[in-house]
């Protein structure tokens, strides 16, 4: 499902004289099924942008179209929007409130007109997708789980609606390496199944591995937009906007300084490995 932003501006506290723009005239088109990483240092407007796309904040100016429809137009079906767009907040575990895992995950299906059994089928799928054994966890309290598990439960509650667009606001912040990597794989799988993904992250390694495209924000404006290889090729800008770079790219730069010649600029470990093997095969 596509996302289109035209001239989006947003200002918190717009009624006061000190209101500053969190977004300024943002133009953006994201095609159906794209996997887009959103980067930029703290305060640049990433969360605001994501909330505007999800319809959680009304833009100050401009239009937001999801699947070609203006979501802020009078008469647009908000319930439909909630079904289409799944939003995983930065600390989704803070929003757990139900007494059992099955009720927690099923919450988003409450008004969808499904029977209890149909809902439980979906809940089972979502929990299994997040690595849980449904029968073992369904009657447990969400509060009895670890931080990483709670987050996976909360994310299952978003996936249960099978959203066409999945927006994740730094979903792996504070998770251990194992939970992080399993979450990455799940997001990639959902994208392969057709979901459009918007993933806010500071993790250049993971975005290089999974994203088709990276958008960098600075002071509420899009300042870079392109495939990871192009974005991370511009060292002056990546330093200016403080988005870091992937470890594979750092290592390939070091090797290049020592005389290795790469045909492309590797940005993932897999590419680096392939290029090194090629280099040695050719006899250096
Ligand atoms: N609820 C709010 N009230 C006032 N200002 C806010 C609020 N949320 C964010 N801001 C400001 O808007 C700007 C963009 O914030 P945000 O979208 O949260 O950035 P990011 O997610 O990139 O860190 C920042 O200057 C921030 O201080
Ligand atoms: Mg944020």
pLDDT digits (tens, 9 = 90+) for 132-189: 999 999 999 999 998 888 988 998 999 898 899 999 999 888 778 887 888 888 899 8
Position 94 confidence tier, pLDDT thresholds 50, 70, 90? confident
Residues 6+ apart with CB under 8 A from 216: 38, 39, 40, 222, 223, 224, 225, 231, 237, 241, 243
Is a pLDDT exceeding 80 seen at residue 11? yes
CA of 201 to the centre of ligand 1 (A): 16
pLDDT given for residue 179 in this prediction? 79
The CATH number for 3-245, chosen from 3.40.50.2300, 1.20.1250.20, 3.40.470.10, 3.40.50.300, is 3.40.50.300
CA of 276 to the centre of ligand 2 (A): 37
Q: Global pTM? A: 0.91
pLDDT given for residue 148 in this prediction? 83
Indicate which atom in ligand 1 lies nearest the CA of residue 41: 22
pLDDT given for residue 181 in this prediction? 85
**What is the torsional sign of CA 262, 263, 265, 269?**
negative
Residues belonging to the chain: 284
Indicate which atom in ligand 1 lies nearest the CA of residue 45: 17
Residue with CA nearest ligand 1 atom 20: 43
CA of 145 to the centre of ligand 2 (A): 25
Average pLDDT over residues 2-26: 87
95-120 residue pLDDT tens: 899 999 999 999 988 877 899 999 99
Q: In the chain, where does the domain assigned CATH 3.40.50.300 lie?
A: 3-245
Position 216 confidence tier, pLDDT thresholds 50, 70, 90? very high
pLDDT given for residue 164 in this prediction? 96
**What is the torsional sign of CA 226, 186, 199, 43?**
negative
* Residue pair 87/128 in contact by the 8 Å Cβ criterion: no
More confident residue, 203 or 95: 203
More confident residue, 256 or 64: 64
* Residue pair 197/36 in contact by the 8 Å Cβ criterion: yes
Indicate which atom in ligand 1 lies nearest the CA of residue 49: 17
């Amino acid at each position: 499902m596509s996302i289109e932003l035209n001239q989006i501006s947003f200002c918190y506290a717009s009624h006061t004289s000190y209101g500053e723009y969190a977004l300024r005239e943002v133009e953006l088109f994201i095609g159906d099924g794209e996997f887009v990483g959103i980067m930029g240092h703290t305060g640049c407007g990433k969360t605001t942008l994501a909330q505007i796309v999800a319809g959680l904040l009304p833009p100050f100016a401009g239009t937001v179209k999801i699947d070609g429809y203006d979501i802020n137009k009078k008469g647009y079906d908000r319930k439909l929007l909630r079904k289409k767009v799944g939003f995983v907040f930065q600390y989704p575990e803070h929003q757990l409130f139900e007494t059992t895992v099955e009720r927690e995950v099923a919450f988003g299906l409450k008004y969808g007109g499904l029977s209890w059994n149909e809902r439980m089928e979906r809940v089972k799928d979502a929990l299994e997708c997040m690595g849980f054994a449904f029968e073992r966890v369904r009657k447990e309290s969400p509060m009895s789980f670890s931080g990483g598990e709670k987050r996976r439960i909360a994310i299952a509650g978003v996936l249960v609606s099978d959203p066409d667009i999945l927006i994740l606001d730094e979903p792996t912040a504070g998770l251990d390496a194992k939970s992080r990597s399993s979450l990455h794989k799940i997001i990639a799988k959902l994208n392969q199944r057709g979901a459009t993904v918007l993933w806010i992250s500071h993790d250049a390694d993971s975005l290089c591995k999974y994203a088709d495209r990276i958008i960098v924000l600075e002071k509420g404006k899009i300042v870079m937009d392109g495939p990871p290889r192009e974005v991370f090729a511009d060292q002056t800008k990546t330093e200016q906007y403080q988005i870091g770079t992937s470890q594979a790219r750092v290592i390939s730069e070091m090797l290049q300084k020592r005389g290795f010649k790469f045909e492309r600029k590797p940005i993932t470990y897999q590419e680096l490995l392939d290029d090194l093997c090629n280099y040695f095969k050719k006899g250096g």
